[in-house]
Amino acid sequence: MAKMTLEELKKLRESKKRELEKREITGKDIEIIVGMATCGIAAGAKQTLSAFLNELEAQNLSNVLVRQTGCMGYCYAEPTVEIRMPGMPDIIYGKVDPETAVKIVRKHILGKVLINDHILDKPAADIMKK
Amino acid sequence: MAFKSYVLVCGGTACQSSKSDEIYKNFITELEAAGIKEDVQVVKTGCFGFCEKGPIVKVLPDESFYVEVNPTDAKEIVAEHLVKGRQVKRLLYQGEETKKHAKVEDIAFYQKQFRIVLRNCGVINPEDINEYIARDGYAALEKVLFEMTPDQVINELKISGLRGRGGAGFPTWLKWNFTKQVNDSPKYIVCNADEGDPGAYMDRSTIEGDPHSILEAMIIAGKTIGSNKGYIYIRAEYPLAIHRLDIAIKQAKELGLLGKDILGSGFDFDIELRLGAGAFVCGEETALLASIEGERGMPKPRPPFPAVKGLWQKPTVINNVETWANIPVIILRGGAWFANIGTEKSKGTKVFALTGKIRNSGLVEVPMGTTLREIIYDIGGGIINGKKFKAVQTGGPSGGVITAEYLDTPIDYENLQKLGSIMGSGGMIVMDEDDCMVDIAKFYLGFTVDESCGKCAPCRVGGRQLLNYLDKISKGKATRDDITKMRQIGNAMKRASLCGLGQTAPNPVLSTLTYFEKEYLAHIDDRTCPAGKCKDLITYSILPEKCIGCGLCARRCPVNCITGEKRQPHVIDRSACIKCGECYSVCKFGAVVRK
Amino acid sequence: MNAKTVSIKVNGMPFFVHEGTTVLEAAKLVNVKIPTLCYHPDLPAWAACGICVVKVEGSPKMFRACSTPVEDGMSIITHDPEIVEVRRTVIELILSTHPNDCLQCLRNQNCELQRLAAEFGIREMPFEYNINQIAVDDSTTSLILNPEKCVKCGRCVKVCQGMQNVWAIEFLGRGDSTRIAPAGDVLLAESPCIKCGQCSAHCPVGAIYEKDETQKVWKALQDPTKHCVVQIAPAVRVALGEAFGLEPGTLVTNKAYAALRRLGFKGVFDTNFGADLTIMEEGSEFVERFVHGKGDLPLITSCCPAWVDYLEKYYHDLIPLFSTAKSPQAMVGALSKTYYADKSGIDCRNIFMVSIMPCTAKKYEIVRSESMYSSGCQDIDVSITTRELSRMIKSAGIDFLNLPDEDADAPLGIYTGAGTIFGATGGVMEAALRTAYFLVTGQELKNVDLEDVRGIEGIKEARIRMAGKEVRVAVAHQMGNIEQVLDMVREAKVKGKELPWHFIEVMACRGGCIGGGGQPYGATDEIRKKRLAGIYKDDSTRKIRCSHQNPAIKQLYAEFLGKPLSHKSHELLHTKYTPRPLYTR
């Protein structure tokens, strides 16, 4: 990437914003967001992440984006994973071990069924969206 | 085939004890009866943290939040809400703030958490600068570089009322303004990421989740006060945070957001990482600066303040991670917006690390002025195993305990200080009836005694002496006169220690002495530990009339000091007992007693 | 310049002081004494002990007087019951970590902690003792580290690293196991320590002190087979009196001679004679190098053994610049066992030479290389400090103040004004220039008072014309000031540039030997200036003020050495230098 000017930064921001919105509104993509802070990793988030990747491959799902993010604050329930997909509410799952990850792919993403006992919350209110 | 709606039934311990299981079953029965089983999924969730109003039922996707739901209410919710699409008004949560809203975002519990510092944590990929940019990242920097004068930036900070989140709460704008006004160069910007309080990790999480917010804020400060060089002092024990900062710095440099001529503005700024070896005292700003310079991390007297003579004797702005993370938002939204949040003297939010005997340990960000009760019960879900709340320690080892009678105090810098504690970095450790206050004081003081840099006599010697007295007390060997001496030493430490570490080190002792003097006196006069923690003051024995001779305790005893015939009462050999308490906790018949 | 004044109050008394004055200094101006322990006027306030706390009206905190500058309108309270209580508690806490063996301590009655305990009327120990038992380090020839008695005031560390730039000692450990030791926890003898002893001179208690060798001296004095002789260094005569209650700078030369005789010394010599001789050798060396181009410039003086050690460790590439002339102590030592031995017909093996020095490094110098055995015996048997001598005089029951004035023994006791100023920074240079001028031009310098090289300023420069050539000289004292001088020399050498100076004098201690590490405790610039004044008074009141005019020196060359830089001179009066590692482990 080359160094940017002010205008370029503004353009980049707009395009990235659209990308994010597209993801959220038109809903073509499914997102799996894994909390990968120290607390998550200590609780096994890396294994969870690879479980997701393996299962997505096994199920031949190409429209799913797996992202990592920082701490969601639910440290008592790590690893935490947020699932965003069309037709389903945004959900944060807690204590997602590799087994639960497989369940999430099979039941939540493919079967559109929420997973009992692992739902923590929906994401906190976002101050960045006015 | 997808469900149309979801019914989330809280499956937390508290809600379960108020029959949430029954609610769950009733929903399933009712949905089947109504013939919409295929359209609605019923889910048992983790605790919503709003246990005070439990059991709770949430209906998605329209975010209806039902509180104090009875098993019999399932029928009405199914019939009205899920079949006819009409909310059951009488069960909807109605906080004082609102009478009509029932959406999750609007109700009190969720409003209690208000994420400014953690705005991007758990939302963006911290290793991708584009995601930060997409969420208005570096937009505040644009404003500062191209639209605002340095004085306007400082004025915005002044209006915001932002105070240092590292502990002492010094107004941030004043710090910046002092540094800006000093006629000397070069000037430096330093980020204090040497988080060290036991149980506190908000800075680590902030960096791991949103590293660019720190970089952006530091560049803004550089532009404002006239500095081209920043340092982030971060403890080497935070490898992931360091890794993410490295990536963030690299990506920002590639995009020209760091380095020479940022965005063509002509302003240069560079940031370097400095790794600390983990000495707690290096969180003290003068010790931190000494450590960056390569000296032994020992505090220096202030004045001169870092704003005048900081890093390499040059004017330096030093703020902690959480303070920095607030800056871009303040610039973007304006100081007035920020000042709207919080109390009269303490603006904005504070991140707390909630740990100890709390059900939902974790990071919570709440507006200043939130009460301890709201944090501990509404957000934290109350005490584990339904035990009785005893006290909460705020401010880590520098703070003090706050007891149940003060739970409704709105949290801000001044109020905590009045209670003999401090805001500190935001550690919050909850204690229940099983915690012995002498033991707690010993734990915290032991930490500061270990971490004292050894420079000043009151802290170095006073801390050790205090710890020895606590040890005496926990062994039942102290006298009431020792309490007097402890207060004398504690006061001298508070008054004559050089840095914040020493000045606040006696707080855990002094505050427990204030609020739990009886417990201390029980150790001294009666040689007993009411909480059953101090090993030297307790004995375990087996009540023969209750013991059925199952032998579980004998099998679990790590030193094999429990003997007895099968189906006959067992006996503990007290001379060999190490008082681990294992027998006490495994006995199902209440036959093992602790005295 | 910044002579802005501010209005303050101390205990309600209003007055004006200069901006930037500390609370401690301001209080002193109105005769209010705030107790201190870690503070020392030589050093930047380290603010460790917490004893000097005061209150400022309107602030809930207490402030350290040593490091808090006054502000306009400040109203300071230095004493109230709470402040005194806090101070007392801090002192009691410090005492709880300090062995209670004052009676056996070298610092008994001369200890700053003891004085504080007395001033606060501490009669009992409220807290339990909690003393870290750490082994004594007596590995060097000169200094002893007793960490058990250390109060962690940090003075020694600040002196060693700051004033002296030696970096031999450091804080190790933390919390209540903090201690002072050489970095890397090696022994002092294995560290870069140059034995200057400034740490011991600044230590408020008995944690770092000179290796006491008075017992060796007592033993020799009582040994009928030993012929004990003694020499006394220039700086001793302006400071020894302090141990007997006299003002700093009081000249007690003749009482010291008398005391030494009463202690039992058969020959009482003066190091100043050696100083005059050093000038003859070193001055001639300078003329050789400067006028005849034989040898490297700039010539650097080598009288100070701490400085020699520093150069051998930190700047050994500059060894060729060093004067090979031994120090005055070493010259008197060598001559006492050769020239004097010959004259008095005593076998050098039966002569016991003791030197009285303001210096701890001199204890190291007497064994530093084989050239210190030039007489065939160890040239100097024992070197003791001014402090040790004062203790000997006291324990011998000598009423020092009422002693008659006596003279030293000829010829090794005859000296000129040039010899005596060796005790002051700039003195060696001044004395050398007086003689070099004569050696180069054949004429006597008209005004021998070379004011440019005198005084307490860290680095001084002067220029003097000799036979049409300009001689540029530099004088540096206090080890920390040397680096910039040497770095300039090194740079000029490497880049082949014009030398900044031709002749450089270096002394390791602030003020020169009068501020030496073995001098009576409590040296500050105020006291150093008084001692300097005493030295220059001795110089200016002497009839002969140039070394080459010293009749005893002339006689020595005529009878024994031949001429300066002669073969015999080289054998007895010159030495060699060798690169040394900073750490030997």
Identify the CATH number of the domain in which residue A72 sits.
Answer: 3.40.30.10
CA distance C398 to C258: 10
Q: Which residue of chain B is at minimal alpha-carbon distance from C55?
A: B495
- pTM greater than 0.90: no
Answer yes or no: C362 catalytic: yes
Answer yes or no: C285 catalytic: yes
Q: ipTM exceeding 0.95?
A: no
**Geometric angle at alpha carbon C258, from C257 and C260, rounded to 5°:** 65
Per-residue pLDDT, B59: 83
Q: Is pLDDT of A127 > 70?
A: no
Per-residue pLDDT, B108: 40
CA distance C226 to C348: 10
Q: Highest mean pLDDT range out of B114-118, B130-134, B293-297, C8-12? A: C8-12
Residue A12 belongs to a domain: no
Q: Which of A7, A12, A22, A69 to mutate to test the interface with B (most CBs of B within 10 A)?
A: A69
C423-458 pLDDT, tens digit per residue, is 999 999 999 999 999 999 999 999 999 999 999 999
**Geometric angle at alpha carbon C156, from C155 and C161, rounded to 5°:** 105
| Domains present along chain C, CATH in parentheses | 5-79 (3.10.20.740), 143-211 (3.30.70.20), 215-573 (3.40.50.1780)
Q: Which of A:78-117 have CB within 8 Å of B?
A: 80, 82, 87-89, 94-95, 112-117
CA distance B305 to B314: 10
Domain B349-432's class?
Answer: alpha beta
Residue A117 belongs to a domain: yes
B249-267 pLDDT, tens digit per residue, is 999 999 999 999 999 999 9
Q: Is pLDDT of B277 > 90?
A: no
Contact indicator for B351, B322 with CB cutoff of 8 Å: yes
Answer yes or no: C323 catalytic: yes
B433-487 pLDDT, tens digit per residue, is 999 999 999 999 999 999 999 999 999 999 999 999 999 999 999 999 999 999 9
pLDDT bracket for residue C21 (50, 70, 90): very high
Per-residue pLDDT, C462: 96
Phi, psi dihedrals of residue B102, rounded to the nearest 5°: -135, 10
pLDDT bracket for residue B100 (50, 70, 90): very low
Q: Which of B41, B58, B129 to mutate to test the interface with A (most CBs of A within 10 A)?
A: B41
pLDDT bracket for residue B1 (50, 70, 90): very low
Assign domain B129-336 to its CATH superfamily.
Answer: NADH-ubiquinone oxidoreductase 51kDa subunit (3.40.50.11540)
CB pairs A-B closer than 8 Å:
180
Per-residue pLDDT, B104: 46
Q: What is the mean pLDDT of residues A72-91?
A: 82
Does C20 contact B at CB distance below 8 Å? Answer: no
Range of the domain at A88: 28-121
Q: What is the mean pLDDT of residues C465-485?
A: 94
Does B127 contact A at CB distance below 8 Å? Answer: yes
C306-340 pLDDT, tens digit per residue, is 999 999 999 999 999 999 999 999 999 999 999 99
Per-residue pLDDT, C1: 46
Per-residue pLDDT, B2: 59
Q: Do C47 and B456 touch (CB under 8 A)?
A: yes
Q: Is pLDDT of B120 > 90?
A: no
Answer yes or no: C559 catalytic: no
Q: Which residue of chain C is at minimal alpha-carbon distance from B500?
A: C61
Residue A10 belongs to a domain: no
Please give, rounded to a whole number of angstroms, the shortest distance from the CA of A36 to a CA of chain B.
8
A31 or B441: which leads in pLDDT: B441
Please give, rounded to a whole number of angstroms, the shortest distance from the CA of B140 to a CA of chain A.
12
B328 or B278: which leads in pLDDT: B328
- Selected catalytic residue, list C4, C124, C128, C370: C370
CA distance B219 to B230: 8
What average pLDDT does chain B have? 89
Residue A63 belongs to a domain: yes
What average pLDDT does chain C have? 96
Look up residue A85 and give its amino acid: M
Percent of chain B with pLDDT over 70: 93
Does A12 contact B at CB distance below 8 Å? Answer: yes
- Selected catalytic residue, list C55, C149, C337, C362: C362
Domain B539-594's class?
Answer: alpha beta
- Non-local CB neighbours of A60 within 8 Å, separated by 6+ positions: none
Total domains, chain A: 1
Residue A130 belongs to a domain: no
Per-residue pLDDT, B52: 58
C551-583 pLDDT, tens digit per residue, is 999 999 999 999 999 999 999 999 999 999 999
Q: Which residue of chain A is at minimal alpha-carbon distance from B40?
A: A113
Residue A129 belongs to a domain: no
CA distance C120 to C53: 15
Burial class (CB in 10 A: 0-12, 13-18, 19+), C139: middle
- A near C: at least 3 beta-carbon pairs less than 8 Å apart: no
Residue A112 belongs to a domain: yes
A4 or B475: which leads in pLDDT: B475
Does C93 contact B at CB distance below 8 Å? Answer: yes
Per-residue pLDDT, B106: 44
B498 contacts on C by Cβ (under 8 Å): 47-48, 50, 64
Q: Which residue of chain B is at minimal alpha-carbon distance from A20?
A: B134
Per-residue pLDDT, A123: 63
pLDDT bracket for residue B99 (50, 70, 90): very low
Q: Which of C64, C90, C124, C160 to mutate to test the interface with B (most CBs of B within 10 A)?
A: C90
Q: How many CB atoms lie within 10 A of CB B84?
A: 9
**Geometric angle at alpha carbon B310, from B228 and B139, rounded to 5°:** 35
The CATH code of domain B5-109 reads 3.40.30.10
Q: Is pLDDT of B109 > 50?
A: no
Chains near B with 3+ CB pairs less than 8 A apart are A, C
Answer yes or no: C365 catalytic: yes
B406-428 pLDDT, tens digit per residue, is 999 999 999 998 998 888 888 89
Please give, rounded to a whole number of angstroms, the shortest distance from the CA of B330 to a CA of chain A.
12
Point out the least confidently predicted range of B440-449, B578-587, C240-249: B578-587
Q: What is the mean pLDDT of residues B69-81?
A: 88
Distance of CA B497 to CAs B307, B455, C65, C86, C349, Å?
Answer: 22, 9, 13, 11, 59
The CATH code of domain B437-525 reads 1.20.1440.230
Per-residue pLDDT, B102: 42
Residue A14 belongs to a domain: no
Q: What is the mean pLDDT of residues A61-85?
A: 84
- Selected catalytic residue, list C111, C199, C303, C509: C303
Per-residue pLDDT, C372: 97
